[in-house]
Amino acid sequence: MIFTGSAQAEQTLRIGYQKFNSLNILKSTGALERALAPEGIRVAWYEFAAGPQLLEAMSTGAIDLGHAADAPSVFAQAAGKPVVYLAAEQPYPKGIGILVSKDSPITDVAGLKGQRVATGRGWNAQYLLAVALQQAGLSYKDIQPAYVSNAADAVAALQSGSVAAATLWDPFLAAAEQKQPVRNLRDGEGLTNNRTFYLSTAAFADTHRALLHTFFSELAKASTWANAHPKDVAQLLAPQLGIDASTLEVASSRRNYNAVAITPAIVAEQQRLADTFQGLGLIPHAIRIQDAVYPATVVP
């Protein structure tokens, strides 16, 4: 939280978001701004290409609150960034995938052995790749990861033929499936719940508990509406995100936007993810997810 002037009445809540999430919907409605205006709080929104960049900004104090997927959240904790879990969205396993070109001779995940695969460090789709390889009797070391920093670069690498496969998440996954000659070898169904988490710092949450309650109350209203109106969500977000409505409708129809409190079962999910990455040597040491869970409930 920053001050835009000397008075308490000139506070600004800084929220980080990525393309396609309930935060996009909340931003579009203006409901949070209306709810906070009587308290003299304005809202500033900052878009990030992916979770790792958003969480880096949070750790340096550039934003107060935001969302990221399961894997970036684990990588941030492993790197010692002072971020805490506030809430989680519902499972979204079909929102991630491993794509190959439509005419690729690769027909299953086992066929990725020895191949170059475009993915990002700390992506939710990187975790999908790791556990899908394990299920196929392979390990992460059996492929050649080609690390990229955003979804556009992953798609470009697949299109150029410099990689045999690419990992993606919605809405970029839906866009590729709708617009590109690709096949989805594997989504997250049965492998990973692919949750989105809402995160902040303990210092911010301790000081602004009432504000967080207002934030999650308004988010719940937007999410409930979104779950019932995927077509309307697509029409609402298309101009904001620069992605066509038909693609967004596909992505939205396979998602549940509602946020819930962090439960022991969700902590266990994240712990399995963290242990997998640590076992692969992708994070330097073991971590305890519970240590990064904010101890107070902020979801109404």
Residue 2 has a pLDDT of 65
Residue 4 has a pLDDT of 47
Q: What is the pLDDT of residues 132-174, one digit of tens each?
A: 999 999 999 999 999 999 999 999 999 999 999 999 999 999 9
- Strand ranges (DSSP E) for the chain? 2-3, 11-17, 41-47, 65-69, 84-89, 96-101, 116-119, 144-147, 165-169, 182-187, 196-200, 259-260
CATH of domain 2-91+195-292: 3.40.190.10
Q: Model pTM?
A: 0.87
CB atoms within 10 A of CB 233: 27
Rounded Cα distance between 166 and 159, Å, is 10
Residue 20 has a pLDDT of 82
Which stretches of the chain drop beneath a pLDDT of 50? 3-9
Q: Where along the chain do its domains lie? A: 2-91+195-292, 93-187
Residue 33 has a pLDDT of 98
Rounded Cα distance between 284 and 144, Å, is 20
Domains 2-91+195-292 and 93-187 share a fold: yes
Q: What is the pLDDT of residues 6-36, one digit of tens each?
A: 444 469 999 999 988 889 899 999 999 999 9
Residue 241 has a pLDDT of 79
**The domain 93-187 is classified under which CATH number: 3.30.920.30, 3.40.190.10, 3.90.1150.10, 3.30.70.141?**
3.40.190.10
